[in-house]
């Protein structure tokens, strides 16, 4: 199994509060991703990173920001949480190679509830 951990695994917070989720990897993979998963929508990409300090927006980036100051850590921040951000958040990593398969390995997920 790829070494990916997420913290916290569960969080309940109130509307308007800031929340930071952490993804940590021990695989030295260059690419890291944050997804949210909601019933009926599947996994949707929020932001991704292709190297330290290099990040880009995904499909559903509004209301989220990210930072990557080290290869192993990718942080997702909700500056002011809203109930629509209640979801399960997955971090994923990948390392491009010459085969260009680039499968992604997923962390265990964080269940966030915004009341």
Partner 1 sequence: GQNIDQPTEMTATEGAIVQINCTYQTSGFNGLFWYQQHAGEAPTFLSYNVLDGLEEKGRFSSFLSRSKGYSYLLLKELQMKDSASYLCAVRYNNDMRFGAGTRLTVKP
Using CB under 8 A as the criterion, which residues of the chain lie in contact with partner 1 when the complex forms? 33, 35, 40-45, 58-59, 90, 100-109
Nearest approach in angstroms of CB 44 to partner 1 is 7
Q: Which is nearer to partner 1, 45 or 75 (CB)?
A: 45
Q: Which is nearer to partner 1, 63 or 109 (CB)?
A: 109
Q: Which is nearer to partner 1, 58 or 63 (CB)?
A: 58
Nearest approach in angstroms of CB 17 to partner 1 is 26
DSSP string, the chain: ---EEEE-SEEEE-TT--EEEEEEESS--SEEEEEEEETTTEEEEEEEEEETTEEEE-TT-TTEEEEEEETTEEEEEESS--GGG-EEEEEEEE---TT-----EE---EEEEE-
């Amino acid at each position: 199994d790829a070494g990916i951990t997420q913290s916290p695994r569960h969080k309940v917070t109130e509307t308007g509060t800031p929340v930071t989720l952490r993804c940590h990897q021990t695989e030295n993979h260059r690419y890291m991703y944050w997804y949210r998963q909601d019933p009926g929508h599947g996994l949707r990409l929020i932001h991704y990173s292709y190297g330290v300090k290099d990040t880009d927006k995904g499909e559903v980036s509004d209301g989220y920001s990210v930072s990557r100051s080290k290869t192993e850590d990718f942080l997702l921040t909700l500056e002011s949480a809203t109930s629509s951000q209640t979801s399960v958040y997955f971090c994923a990593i990948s390392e491009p190679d010459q085969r260009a398969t680039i499968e992604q390995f997923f962390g265990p997920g964080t269940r966030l509830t915004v009341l």
